Chain A
Amino acid sequence: MALDYRGSQGGKTAAVPGHRTLRDSVEERDRTTAATGHYYGVTELTLRDSDPIKYERFYARLHSAVLAARESARFVAASPGSREMGECLWGLTTPEGDTLAVSLGFLSHTAIFPVSVRYMASKDYDVNDGIDDGDVFAVSDGLTGGVPHPGDFYTFVPIVVDEEVVGWSVGINHLMENGAPVAGSWATFSVDTFMDGFVCPPMKTGTKLRQSQWWKALWERRTRAATMNILDDKMRLAGCAMIHEATHRLIDEFGIDYYKRAIREVIEESRRMIVDNIKQTTVPGTYTGCAFRLVKYKGLQNIWSHADKNTLIHVRGSVEPGQEGLSLDTEGSSKWGYHSYNATPGGTDCAVFLGMINSFGHNTKVTAGIDLAIERNYPSGSIYNPDNEYTSNANLWAQTIAINSVGFNAVNRAMFSRGYLEEVFSVDGNWGAFQGAGTTEDGTSYGFTNFEWLGGTGRGAYCYKDGEPLIWAAWSQIATIGDAEEFESTVPPLFYLGRKLLKGYCGHGKYRGGVGNSAVHWIVQPGKHVALTRPNGGLSCTTAVGVGMSGGYPAPSSFMISARGTNMSEIIAEGGETPRDARELLEMVDDGRLKVENLEIWKTDCPELAFDENDLFVDAAGASGGWGDPLEREPSAVIEDLNEGWVTSYDFVKNLHGVVATQNKEGEWQLDESSTVALREEMRNKRRQESVSVFDWWSNEREKVLKKDFVPEVNQMYAESLSFDKFDREFRDFWQVPEDLVFENEEE
């Protein structure tokens, strides 16, 4: 396919004095939108209403261009993450970066497009340097580009007509490695942005739809997976070139005046639809949720002493559906810190929009309409809007997914009240991955990321049925964990011994969540060196979200196990059984079949783990939450869980669900109905006996609050969150504690 480069027709923006600049466009967009409450002041959809067929044909052409870009470009050149798992997206935006159309894939990344373009506008890229049709820009910085984490890399290509930028084609994907001190694509343990790896504020890296040669040198010298990354770079640009070409043809056919008007109408139309969907499917009010995440750096950051501390991150969100959309307030969430979990407003949007687009954008054009319909408050100084320009946001996604879950669950609660139960389920957003670097025996160095447990997770319980394993991912419409063989080929010494659903690993309730997943990786011929770390959306020392749904338990989070110094060679030589998931590994260690010199269970981030021959690395992730009172689970469903192997222990489900069963000679579980009725009544009595009134509990707990009788990390968390007025007021009102009760902030 020949790409039709149009630079000579477009002209360079800076060439004409007095031309309309990007800054002019952004200013007009903001002024007219604020003044009218309608995008770009478009109060009437004149093009749509006067000739709807032409208007929809116009949009279909835009949409097909971005869809085609994805379905072609990732098969031109790409890493397994993009080709196999679709960890990518293409889009087309207005001159101001507002999304017009996106492909399948990471659709919430539309949030970052305007951040990057507005940065370029504010810095006069088009005036000082000039922007030419078909220029190529690279972006991976959180602050200036809005990027959710530097592992996500963006290519922007401007579409210029008559010396004016009229749009941008954009491609993104998640890199396999991005050159940070911690190898992989989420630099866990980063202390500030200078440890985040290969981070680019918006920068011109090519012209005429071609990258410069020096750009390739950067991939080769500043990342550990240059081949993969260069393939991905070509992929992003190939898709952008297709969209660039298609948009020029579209403008030729429809005319620039039609194009300029239509792109505003498209966004205003979808804004209206989203606002209408919010009013149609929710109940106004205030919905509050929270989540926690532990950052265990103490003892691991000896070089950077200011970061050598543990942090309990508090995620707090309240959602209010209203008259013109919906608002999200994150006040009360923790302050930013010297760790890798800080967000930026753009990156937070990228997470928050996941649930919002899924809930309200399903029947309209996916555009910047979502940005206009969802009002966000990220207080300055908070983890979502640091008042320090050098914070790390290397592992932003591991934390912001929780604020998305808080918002998504708020929407689900609202839809439940409204009666649209078919849409309502428990959201957790657990994900896992592993990453690292190695050197083969012949001295070849490589870096890698295994995305599998990011590709597919369990879906939480619906309010009327159990959730399902693996089939859901909050960040993508096409959940897939990819082929094991693809990942084995990118990490030479790691072989899968097992890749399974992990029995019983879910939040329970009347309906249980889809169970999570677990894999066992066996290290064979590690070469000179292989080591890995693991970023995770949720770590099991806290649950993924803090508030369960209707009496169900929220999902447990991720964990991992390193087993170093094993007798695997003897087991294999004897043809013995090898572990296939985390539970089997622990059982085999317990009963002595698997001997391990150094067994470590990681419920927090693991530091870099180096592995030798026959070591094992085991992970578990992707569990989802339950719904409803576990004592109300249909007894037959419990029996089914036992017989089909969804749970492992009869005692566990008996004590959780109050179901009595017996096993017949064939080992099949059968319900004992009368004993079940009796046990459930007994358990209700137990609830009464083991519980106290909330007043009594409050009275006792209040004493602990007054004494600040908590572990240091909890006290520190309150010190940070109480520095924001709204949470401070709520905390003091709830506990009825005086103003002079102060939780000390270690840093001050």
Chain B
Amino acid sequence: MAESQVDKDLIRQLVEGDISEDNVTRLQKMSRKDKDRFFQYVEVLQEKVPWDEKILLRISDKLYVVATQEGDRIVKCECGHEFGDYRENWKLQCRIRVRKTLEEFKEVYDPEPACPEPGWQEIREYFCPGEHAAQLAVEVVSPGYPIVFEMLPDLDVFYRDYLGRPLSDESSQWYKDQTTNVTQSWRSRREAH
């Protein structure tokens, strides 16, 4: 398969999970990946989501960094729920359910000896507050562990240096983890009460 010849419909099949094994193998065996994949991928995704904001990046099954008309870059769920500035860990705007006991672990791990050890580990499930309550992430970590910020993309470098199509609103402030702003505000909120 030569470069730049991956059919957009094949990418749609990959996204939907109904691609054939043969086509997967063909894609995996490409010596060099098709360079325009990202833009075709975004086209497929843009057609799939029920909203119009421009997708800048897909960061998990259901979450996207999008550009808003107001000039912000936010995390938005496929369902339409907005999580806010993409530089703040979106998990902090989720609903969370924590499994702490063996009985609760056994509902997701089987057989029983395969379950993590209560006290040493807990299972955190992060749900979208939107209408589908989708499970967006799972962490199996020790109690007290800071929520993991799985991915903070450097969008400006990506579009400018990796893709050769710079974004119009480049700024040195875009690639900065701002999660602490949220926890600081939470602390203030608690202290105010």
Binding site for B on A (CB under 8 A): 279-290, 292, 294, 312, 314, 322-323, 363, 413, 416-423, 463-465, 502, 504-505, 508, 510-511, 540-543, 546-554, 556-557, 559, 561, 582-583, 586, 601, 603, 620, 623, 627-632, 647-649, 652, 655-656, 684-685, 687-688, 690-695, 697-699, 701, 704-705, 710-711, 713-714, 717-718, 730-731, 733-736
Cβ 8 A contact of B19, one of A279, A464, A692, A734: A464
Cβ 8 A contact of A540, one of B14, B98, B116: B116
State the CA gap A713–B121 with chains docked (Å). 11
Query: Quick one: given A556-B114, A717-B142, are A630 and B120 in contact (CB under 8 Å)?
Result: no
Most buried by A among B31, B119, B143, B145: B145
CB-based contact B113/A546 at 8 Å = no
B161 and chain A: residue at smallest CB distance: A323
Query: Quick one: given A292-B121, A736-B183, are A283 and B162 in contact (CB under 8 Å)?
Result: yes
Query: Quick one: given A417-B59, A687-B135, are A286 and B151 in contact (CB under 8 Å)?
Result: yes
Could you give, for residues 160-193 of chain B, a 1 whenever the CB lies within 8 Å of some chain A CB and a 0 otherwise? 0110000000000001010110011011011000
18 contacts between A and B (CB under 8 A): A280-B162, A283-B153, A285-B158, A288-B148, A288-B151, A323-B161, A546-B148, A547-B139, A550-B61, A629-B61, A688-B133, A693-B95, A694-B126, A701-B144, A710-B119, A734-B147, A735-B146, A736-B186
CB-based contact A561/B140 at 8 Å = no
B residues near A735, Cβ cutoff 8 Å: 144, 146, 183
* 4 pairs of A and B residues whose beta carbons are closest in the complex: A419-B41, A556-B114, A548-B138, A541-B117
B residues near A287, Cβ cutoff 8 Å: 150-151
B residues near A465, Cβ cutoff 8 Å: 17, 24
CB-based contact A649/B154 at 8 Å = no
The size class of the interface chain B forms with chain A is 35 or more
B residues near A557, Cβ cutoff 8 Å: 114
Contact residues of A: prevailing secondary structure: mixed
B45 and chain A: residue at smallest CB distance: A419
CB-based contact A285/B135 at 8 Å = no
State the CA gap A419–B44 with chains docked (Å). 10
B93 and chain A: residue at smallest CB distance: A694
CB-based contact A734/B183 at 8 Å = yes
A residues near B17, Cβ cutoff 8 Å: 464-465, 511
State the CA gap A282–B33 with chains docked (Å). 11
A residues near B31, Cβ cutoff 8 Å: 363
A626 and chain B: residue at smallest CB distance: B138
A residues near B184, Cβ cutoff 8 Å: 736
Most buried by B among A323, A556, A711: A556
Q: Is B141 an interface residue, CB under 8 A from the partner? A: yes
A residues near B150, Cβ cutoff 8 Å: 287-289, 413, 547
CB-based contact B107/A548 at 8 Å = no
CB-based contact B37/A419 at 8 Å = yes
CB-based contact B151/A285 at 8 Å = yes
CB-based contact A695/B186 at 8 Å = yes
Binding site for A on B (CB under 8 A): 11, 14-17, 19, 24, 27-28, 31-33, 35, 37-38, 40-42, 57-62, 91-98, 107-117, 119-121, 123, 125-127, 129, 132-154, 157-158, 161-162, 175, 177, 179-180, 183-184, 186-187, 189-190
Cβ 8 A contact of A280, one of B32, B125, B175: B32
A residues near B41, Cβ cutoff 8 Å: 418-419
State the CA gap A285–B158 with chains docked (Å). 8
CB-based contact B134/A629 at 8 Å = yes
State the CA gap A314–B32 with chains docked (Å). 37
Most buried by B among A420, A542, A547, A552: A420
State the CA gap A549–B17 with chains docked (Å). 16
State the CA gap A323–B162 with chains docked (Å). 9
Write the nearest CB–CB distance from B167 to chain A, whole angstroms: 13
A280 and chain B: residue at smallest CB distance: B33
CB-based contact B139/A423 at 8 Å = no
B residues near A281, Cβ cutoff 8 Å: 33
CB-based contact B35/A280 at 8 Å = yes
Instruction: Taking A586-B111, A697-B96 as given, write out 14 further A-B residue pairs in contact, using a Cβ cutoff of 8 Å, ordered by the A residue number.
Output: A283-B153, A284-B162, A290-B145, A292-B120, A323-B161, A417-B153, A420-B37, A505-B110, A542-B140, A543-B116, A586-B113, A655-B107, A690-B97, A697-B98
